[in-house]
Every structure is written in C-alpha cells, then in structure tokens.
Amino acid sequence: MISRRQLLAGAAASAVSPALAVEQETLASAAAKVGLIFGASIDAAAFAHPAYLALYQRETQMYVTDVAMKFDWLRPTQDTWNFGPADEIVARAQADGKLLRGHTLIWNDNAPAWLKSLSLREIERVFDEHIERVVARYAGRLHSWDVVNEPFWPMDNKPGGWRDGPWFAAMGAGYVDRAFRRVASIDPRVKLTLNEAQCDNDSDWGRSIRPKLRALVERMQDKGTPLHAVGLQSHLQSQMPRNYPQFAAYVSQLGARGVEIYISEFDVNDMAFPAAAADRDAAVALLAGDFLTRVAAIPEVKLVVTWQLSDLYSWYRDLAIKAGMSRMPRPLPFGNTLQPKAMRTAMIEAFRKRPVLGYVEPQTMKRY
C-alpha cells in the first residue's frame, strides 16, 4: 500500500521543473506538439563539425539541402554530374531518421556559365534531362521538392515581373508548369513546392511579388498543374518596412486554396538592430517571435525551416565577410559557439501559442 507521503514524494520527483522542461524541449519537439515540422538547411559544414551535426540531430525533424541539390552544384560542367554531396545528405537523413526536403530543382539564378552558353533548344533539353535524372535518383526519399525557386524578380524588368534566366529565356513562364508536371510524373509521392522570397516584407519587392505569386498559384491550380505547397522563405529584414498581420492574412488566403504553407528559409537580417550582442539578440528574438506567433497560428502552415542553425554558417556571414564588414550577423537560433540564443526561446514560445491541431508523431524517413 503506498502512503500518501510516498505518493506525493513520487509525484514531486517525477515532475520535471519548468526550467528543466524548457531545457529538454527542442525546436523539433515543441513544433511536433502543435502539428508543425521544424527543420534546417544543411550542407557539408555539418559533416566537418560533429558538434554542429549533433545540433541538427537533436533540434530538427527535417533536413533541407542548402546547396547540394542545386543545379550549379549537381552540374558544375555539362559533362559532369556531382551527386556526392547530395547523396551524403540523403544517407545522413536516412541514418538520423529525418525528413528531407530537396532545394531546389529549377532556379533562374545561379545558373552555371555553360548552361547560359547553350541554344534555347538545348536549354530546354537540359531542363527535361535534369529533372528526369535528379528526381528519379531521389524518388521516394524526399518529403518535398522545391520544384521552382523564386519565379519572380521585378528588378529584371520582364513582363509579368518574372525572374530572368536560362529557363525563362528558353521556355517563357511555361517552364513552371512544365517542371511541376514532369516531377509529378516521375515521383508521384513527393510534395511539390513553389518557393518564393521577399513576400514577408512590405517593401516594393514584397508588395509586387505577393500578388504575382498568388496569381501564379491560382493559374497553376486552374490548369490542374500538381502543386502541394507554397514555400515562403521568410528571410526577415530588420531594415525593411513590414506588416506581419497583413502577411499572416496573405498566408491564410494562400492556404485557403488548399495548399500547405512552408516557412522555408527562416532567419533574421539584424543589420538595423543594435551592435551590442545582447541587445541585438533580444531584438532578433522579438521580431522572430512576433512573426512566428502570427504565422504559426495558421493551420495550413505545416513546417518552419531555418536557413542553417548557427550564426557561424549563415549565408549572411558569408556576405558580411565578402563585404569586409567587421560586424558579424546574428540571424539564427544558435550562436557561433552553437549556444542557444534568445531567438530559440522565442521560436519555442511562438510554437507553443499555436492552437493545438493534433500531435504530429515525429516523422522519420519513410517512403511517401
């Protein structure tokens, strides 16, 4: 017979202190409790830095290929296919029981010179060949593909605000539907994502791209082009105008069309925030928390991906170094020594505010 005293003692011992509960909570576990998937982009840096890889293994439920599955990485020359780095990430995701997103099959930016030197007919042939070979290689292994990245870029002054580049030059705007249909015919189980930048800010770029992206989604659906998700990159810009309630309404409108919404490249450009690290981290956390609280409350938002996990490997750091800047950016939930930052806490708190839509079992790699 257990005495009341023993019962209370047992309860006290098993009850985890709030502080410890937060410590044991990870971005992945906090997300999963409210029906979200949390992931991060990953590249070779994680394989050269075991403690960084351990951070992915602990904090994420999904890996996203940062550069390894991009056209310029897979096809450094017309005669070579460089699958090594991508295969390594696929194998690692499988070994770690993680979901995997492929980024990105078709992007008019960052095209290698050899591709741009081809005739338009040749570019079309390379387009079809690339999709067929890459999608077939990873069929059944990916949660989702960024099939087309950043279709719009008004600064290229093309009619309709389309981003210029070899694919657009060779096929016009029709390259988008052509890509989605071809991927679906090769891997019918992978979720097909249209991924776009800038929509989160209220600059001229954001105001111009948002309606164009929504109209493209509507046209694709009207034509019966297979489309499962819209990725909104959400590289938040501290120096740009923003209206997150308006952005949340835009996200809801997109979701109402029956597509999933992915916050697909989340980080914070902190350039407008104070230089002092503690103040800057607090400002980044406030911005990230406000944004995520609003969008995570939308049921169609299904995943949040940060663009790397640590400031040490952020693309903003590469930009700062190339620009010869002395102040290094602090855009991510973990710092240069992989220490958790205020942004991580703010993200967990934002996830917790999401109306609970049903627990999502931490999904492991499975054939879709």
Closest distance to ligand G3I from the beta carbon of 358 (Å): 31
Q: Which of residues 71-90 bind ligand G3I (CB under 6 A)?
A: none
Residue placing its CB nearer to ligand G3I in the complex, 164 or 349: 164
Residue placing its CB nearer to ligand G3I in the complex, 110 or 239: 110
Residue placing its CB nearer to ligand G3I in the complex, 32 or 268: 268
Count how many Cα atoms sit within 13 Å of the Cα of residue 180 in the half-sphere of its side chain: 24
What residue is closest to ligand G3I based on CB?
A: 315
- Burial tier of 50 (Cβ tally within 10 Å: 0-12, 13-18, 19+): exposed
SS3 330: coil
# chain residues binding ligand G3I, by CB under 6 A? 11
Closest distance to ligand G3I from the beta carbon of 102 (Å): 12
**Which stretch in 64-72, 161-169, 182-190, 238-246 sits in contact with ligand G3I by CB under 6 A?**
64-72
The residue type at 77: T
Phi, psi for residue 366 in degrees, rounded to 5: -140, 160
Closest distance to ligand G3I from the beta carbon of 44 (Å): 7
Q: Which of residues 133-192 bind ligand G3I (CB under 6 A)?
A: 149
Q: How far is CA 154 from CA 163, 206, 210, 217, in A?
A: 7, 10, 11, 18
Structure tokens, 66? 């940062």
SS3 152: strand
| Cβ(365)–Cβ(94) below 8 Å | yes
Residues 6+ apart with CB under 8 A from 61: 28, 31, 32, 37, 38, 39, 98, 99, 362, 363
Q: Which of residues 225-254 bind ligand G3I (CB under 6 A)?
A: 233
Kind of pairing between the strands at 144-149 and 301-306: unpaired
Closest distance to ligand G3I from the beta carbon of 82 (Å): 12
Residue placing its CB nearer to ligand G3I in the complex, 120 or 319: 319
Q: Return d(Cα 132, Cα 155) in angstroms, integer.
A: 31
SS3 140: coil
Closest distance to ligand G3I from the beta carbon of 212 (Å): 17
Residue placing its CB nearer to ligand G3I in the complex, 42 or 170: 42
- Burial tier of 29 (Cβ tally within 10 Å: 0-12, 13-18, 19+): middle
The secondary structure element, H or E, covering residue 194 is strand 191-196
**Which stretch in 62-70, 86-94, 270-278, 337-345 sits in contact with ligand G3I by CB under 6 A?**
62-70
Site string for ligand G3I, 98-137 (x = CB under 6 A): ------------x---------------------------
Site string for ligand G3I, 282-311 (x = CB under 6 A): -------------------------x----
Contact between 47 and ligand G3I by CB under 6 A: the answer reads no
- DSSP one-letter code for 162: B
Closest distance to ligand G3I from the beta carbon of 110 (Å): 5
Closest distance to ligand G3I from the beta carbon of 311 (Å): 13
* Single residue of 66, 200, 281, 300 touching ligand G3I by CB under 6 A: 66
Dihedral angle over CA of 228, 229, 230, 233, nearest 10: -150
- DSSP one-letter code for 77: S
Residue placing its CB nearer to ligand G3I in the complex, 70 or 143: 70
Contact between 67 and ligand G3I by CB under 6 A: the answer reads yes
Residue placing its CB nearer to ligand G3I in the complex, 32 or 105: 105
| Cβ(88)–Cβ(41) below 8 Å | no
Site string for ligand G3I, 190-229 (x = CB under 6 A): -------x--------------------------------
- Binding positions for ligand G3I, rule: CB under 6 A: 43, 66-67, 70, 110, 149, 197, 233, 265, 307, 315
